[in-house]
Structure formats: C-alpha cells, structure tokens
Amino acid sequence: MRKPIYALGGAGLLLSVSMLAIPAQELTGELPDPPAFAAQSEPVFVSVGDILEYKALPEYHEPAWVTSKYVDAGTLPPVAERLPKEPLVYKIGNMPDGVGVYGDTMRHVIGGRPEGWNYIGGQSQGWGGIDIGLSECLTRTGPLFTIKADELEPMPNLAKSWEWSEDGKTLTMKLIEGAKWSDGDAFDAEDVMFYWEDNILDTNVSPLNGGTPETFGVGTTLEALDPYTIKWTFQEAFPTQYLYAMAYGTFCPGPSHILKPQHPKYNADNTYEEYKNAFPPEYMNIPVMGAWVPVEYRPDDIIVMRRNPYYWKVDENGNQLPYLNEMHYRLSTWADRDVQAVAGSGDFSNLEQAESYVEALRRSAEDSAPARLQFGARTIGYALRMNLSANGWGEPDERAQAIRELNRNLDFRKAISIAVDRQRLGESLVRGPFTAIYPGGLYAGTTYYDKASTVYYPFNLEAANALLDGLNLVDTDGNGIRNFPEGTAGGADVEITLLANTDYGTDTNLAEGVIAQLEPLGIRVIANFQSGTARDDMAQAGQFDWHVERQGAEMVSVVQGTAGLAPTGPRTHPFHRAGTDGTVDLLPFEQELVDTVNAFIATSDNAERAELMKQYQHIFTENVYSVGLTQYPGALIVNKRFANIPAGAPIFMFNWAEDNIIRERVFVPEDKQGDFELHPETLPGAPGGAGPV
Ligand code: BQZ
C-alpha cells in the first residue's frame, strides 16, 4: 500500500508566499438578491397536538379483506390486538381531505438501487422514500414545515413523550407501548438499545445517514429504565437540538430480533461486513415499523411493498393506517421519476433537477395533466466541497496530499471561488427566475439566514490567477498547467479530481461547468463521476480531492442535521473527518465553527441561536468553507388522484417530501382508484419468506 506522505514542507512553502496575495477587502462584493420566486402554496401552520395524539379508541377497523381472509381464517389476530394500547392517532381536523378510504397504490420511481435491508448496519435501500417509509424513528421532523415557528420541536413518533430533568442534563423518553414489528414481534427498548450500543457506539458499524456518537453530543449516554422507558444523559443542559437527531435518518431502530443474531458481538462466526450484508435485497418481508413491507424485488425493475398489518397508527375513527395497500418503487433513474410523474405513469416526484423544469412546467400546465406540480422555496443547493483533511482521512497519496494542503489554504479556496461564474452556472441548468447565486453557507430565504453576515467573493478571474501566482503555483514546464513548487509532489502539474454523482444529471452538469470555468486558471480538474452508491462510499471514506454535492437539510433548517454544520466529532462532517490518528486536524476557523455550532446546540435561547448562526455564516463564507455554486426551488409532483396532500409541502426542508406529506394518511377516493395493485388482498409473509401471502 502506498505510504501516504504528509508534505508539510510544501504547505509551509505555499503558505509563506501567500502573504503576497491581494488584500481580502478587494475581493469581496455585494451579493445579488435571489430573483423573486414565490412558492405556489403556503402551509397551514398548526401545533403538533392539532396533527396527532396517542390514545385508545373504542373500536378499530381494517380493510374488509384483511378481516375475511386473515383474521376470520385465524392466521392473524384481530386488529385491536395488533395495535398498541394507545396507538398514534391522526386527527381528522388536520387531514386536508378528511378520513380516507382503503385501496390503491403509490407508484414511486427511483434512481437508487437496494443494497439490502440492514439500514442501521449501513445499507441503502435505494432512497426515494423506501427507507423513509420503512424506518420509523424516535421522533419525526418531516411534517414540521406546518408547525408554528414559536412551537417548533420534533414530533413524537416511536417516542410518544419526553421530560427533561430540572438541570436539563437528562431526558426521560416514553416509548409507545405495545407496538409491534410487521411480523408481530414486540417493539421495545431492546430495539433502541441494540441500535445505540451495537450500531451507533460500535465504530465498526456505520449506520446509513451517518449517525455517530457525537451526533447526539460528545459524552452523551443512553440507558433503558424499563421496556418502554429510555433515559438520555447529556453534557450540556437542555440540548433540545438532539431531538432532531432522534428523527430520520439518525435514530431509526432496526428489528433487533432479526439483526442481533447476525451482529459479530452476538455471533462470533460473522464479520462486520457479513452483518451489514446479512439481508440482501432478495430477503423478503424484513420486519419493519413502517407502514409497508417489502414483499417483492425484481432487480433493476421494481420493489413492491404491502401494508403492514401491525402498523401502530390509526385515524380518529379507529381505521388502522395506511389507507394505501401497496407501494411501488420502480427501479429506474431520478430523471425518469420526473418524466413518469408528469406523464402519469408514476405518481410522485421531487422535481429537483433544474434542467427538467421547463418541460415539466409546460406539461403540467395542460388541463389534461395527470399530476399537480407545486413549487416551494429555494431549498435545493449545490456546493464544491474540498477535502480538508491533511492527516490521512482517505489515505491520500503524495499528489492528493499536496492538494489537501492547497485546499487548506484560504487564498487557494478564494481563487477557486472567484474563478466560478455562479450566474452562468445557474443559467446553464435552466433559464428563468429559478436559480440564484449561492456563495456557500446557509441558504438565502431560510430561518437563520442573514445577508449582512454573508461574505461574497464575486467572479474575478484576474484576481483568481493573481492569487494562484501568489501561491507560487507557476507553469514551470510550459504545458499550460500550473506546477507545484519544487519539493511538493515533485513539482508535478496541479491536477485535482472532482467527485460527482452520475445518478443526477444536475450533479455532473454542474461539475462539468466547474471544470470548464476553472480551465483559465491553469489547473487541471479531472472528472471522477461515480454512481450513487459508489459516490456515497467514496465520500464517506474521504477518497476525494473535491466533491460537487447537493447539500443536506443542515443548510436549510440548521436544526436538522446540525452535526453536519461543522466537524463536531470525528465522523460528523461531510468533507473533514478524523485522519489515521483519530483526530480531526481543524483549521483555526473550523475550530471557531465547531465552537459556534456547539454553543448553538447548548442554548435554547432563540435570540442567542440567531446570533450564533450569524457568526457561523460570517466565518463560513469569509473562509470559503465550501465554494457555494447555485441554489434553487424544488417542486412537488403528485398524481391528481391522491388526497390528503398537505398544502405547501416542500420537497426538502427538515426532510424530504416522502416524509413531509405523511404518506400513511394519503388516500385515493374510491371513484378515482386505479387498478395498480400487483398483489391485491395480500399481506406480507414471514421474514425471509418469498413475498406476500
Ligand atoms: C428524495 C430522497 C429520499 C441521499 C438521496 C440520494 C442519495 C443521497 C439523498 C430525493 C433521493 C432523491 O436523494 O434525490 O429527491 O427522494 O432520495 O431519501 O441523492 O444519493 O445519499 O442523501 O437523500
């Protein structure tokens, strides 16, 4: 294996000459306001108590065929015995179209592919709403877009209530009592503790969506007091922030009765890799807490899911949810999801690739259009992120190490930032009022954004070249590409690999745009375009120089995915993680970001939090923590036959729309139901069994 070389000498040389660079004040400029773009509908703001409560109802109901084919046949207990003592009850008053009826299917189309069903072991199910539907979590945040701003707090879910101690250092949570996995096994604290102890704390396991011990605060502990009570103990007082981390995707327990026997801690014959891969996509009827269970998988074709007979949520009339009997996930591409949703052969899409906006708008504007298309706020944003680790994360060779040293140099990051023409980049995706210049950091138009705290370095190619000259990156061999100084990477050409996700045209289009725009700088940027899973793995492992990436919820809401705002732990940040010595070699401004984020988490004073995020935004953008590229709105496309779609549902805010619209409450009125069910009047079979029964 190549021995990584950490050429600090080279860095020292680069840093010493950078003192000659252009003074910072000449590079900043006025950030243009985003073009006006009104979201097409607004949410109705309510309290959590208007949406749901937990209580026993006098009677419960289920689809008639479940009773006649299963309960009456004695193969399934009566519905009242399958539900918790106090199910989660959705209130009719909050249902846009009221109580639903059973039947029909939601036909999703997705661009990912399932690796297997061990979500907490680190496997993807292909995204696009599969894992969101399967993995119920302690709290829930997707629907928070409808919650009154002064009452914003994660909704109860598997955790039905919680109470802080006097000193705010402990949080006692009550789990829903009597809920069951889809195979009838009891859900309880054993599932929670298996997730916490053997998937979060065990660093041999990397749960999908990146939950790590530090996601819940350095030094935080969790214990089970009884089968339905857990107790968190924090270092900070009242860190309400962590309730968001207890939602999707960082605290969604798996079925311990199925997973534990495969975990190396309980099965000496298994490696961690064997644990992670113990439930391949072909393994049907994996027990879930979600509303639908995988019953059929055809590679590169479709995943079919059927209603979970033990689902622990009902409407106020006692109807067990979900209303929809089946879910499809057609295994195609993300771009095809838009096409099929607009055409009516699919039912749902998050319109998020700006290149398809005009055609989607045109088709949806026709009276005959089968789907509703509604734009929300500008919550989709892309940035160029540089690998800032210089102590071994991703095992860089000499060339890559030299790039990392450059990435860690502010003048270098500034040069790249002002060499990018963001206006042209956005227009290359779509013309019109959609895209906005995005300087990096928190998105304009969101709660914690403050323009006055945002430092913007406008396009300035001449100054960019002067900054690189000042870093002694000169084309010494006359081939048009700048060279490292002698003694750094052997004075080779400056070549930088750029990672991007081939699952999305937008990702690679933006990456190609950046490559083209950086050519006049005399550095060679080489496309390293990978498919979603490979891209995810390389990004997680630190095997990249630069990465053009669509950003997560942390840049939209701040309160969701907060751990990703700064390297507050060894594995919490997307582009700077611990090296081979287990430490994160933070740059001075990064330490300031970490301190600011930790202070944000540690206070519940809203004015203080707003001030801290202004500091965060200033430090982030002044130091070009990442090179912001473009920001634009997404649109939710849903087939018109569906009811109970909440007004103003954003495709992405605290979570994706698959969570936000509360799919378990969505229904199709009887007179509009299609004949799309592939396994009508069937239920999931036994875990590992072949499909529905
Ligand atoms: C939405 C989402 C639901 C992951 C994924 C995918 C992965 C990332 C991201 C989005 C897809 C859709 O996003 O693009 O519209 O349906 O699934 O989970 O991009 O590659 O790793 O973070 O959420």
**pLDDT higher than 50, residue 436:** yes
Res. 210 pLDDT band, cuts 50 70 90: confident
The pLDDT of residue 37: 84
CA of 357 to the centre of ligand 1 (A): 18
> For 593-641, what is each residue's pLDDT tens digit?
999 999 999 998 999 999 999 999 999 999 999 999 999 999 999 999 9
> Ligand 1 atom closest to Cα of 129?
3
Closest Cα to atom 3, ligand 1: which residue? 128
Model pLDDT, residue 209: 86
Instruction: Give the residue, by CA position, lying nearest to ligand 1 atom 23.
Output: 127
The confidence score (pLDDT) of residue 12 equals: 41
Gap between the terminal Cα atoms of the chain: 51
For the domain 383-632, what is the CATH superfamily, name and number? Dipeptide-binding Protein; Domain 3 (3.10.105.10)
Residue 359 pLDDT level (bands cut at 50, 70, 90): very high
| Whole-number pLDDT of residue 111 | 97
C-beta separation of 548 from 510 below 8 A: yes
Ligand 1 geometric centre to CA of 505 (Å): 14
Query: What pLDDT does 22 receive?
Result: 57
Ligand 1 atom nearest the C-alpha of 550 is 19
Ligand 1 atom closest to Cα of residue 552:
22
**Alpha carbon of 131 to ligand 1 centroid (Å):** 10
Find the helix packing angle between 461-470 and 410-418, rounded to 10°. Answer: 160
**pLDDT band at residue 208 using 50, 70 and 90 as cut-offs:** confident
Ligand 1 centroid to residue 129 C-alpha, Å: 8
Question: In this structure, which CATH number among 3.20.20.70, 3.40.1480.10, 3.40.50.10420, 3.40.190.10 belongs to the domain 48-375+636-672?
Answer: 3.40.190.10
Model confidence band, residue 20 (pLDDT cutoffs 50, 70, 90):
very low
CA–CA separation, 577 vs 542, rounded Å?
8
Residues 235/219, Cβ–Cβ less than 8 Å: yes
pLDDT of residue 615: 98
> Ligand 1 mean position to 147 CA, how many Å?
24
The full set of domain ranges for the chain reads: 48-375+636-672, 383-632
CB 472 within 8 A of CB 457: no
For atom 6 of ligand 1, which residue has the closest CA? Answer: 127
* pLDDT tens-digit readout, 258-297: 999 999 999 999 999 999 999 999 999 999 999 999 999 9
**Distance in Å, CA 656 to ligand 1 centroid:** 8
Helices 398-407, 8-18: crossing angle, 10 deg rounding = 30
Question: By alpha-carbon position, which residue is closest to atom 21 of ligand 1?
Answer: 536
Q: Say if residues 316 and 344 touch (Cβ distance below 8 Å).
A: no
Q: What backbone torsions phi and psi does residue 106 show, to the nearest 5 degrees?
A: -105, 120
Predicted TM-score (pTM) of this structure? 0.95
Helices 505-518 and 422-429, packing angle to 10 deg: 150
Strands, DSSP E only, in 76-194? 88-90, 105-110, 139-140, 155-156, 159-164, 170-175
The Cα 138–Cα 157 span in angstroms is 6
pLDDT in tens, 464-481: 999 999 999 999 999 999
Ligand 1 binding pocket, CB closer than 6 Å: 127-129, 132, 334, 350, 352, 532, 536, 656, 658
Measured between alpha carbons, how far is 104 from 328 in angstroms, rounded to an integer? 11
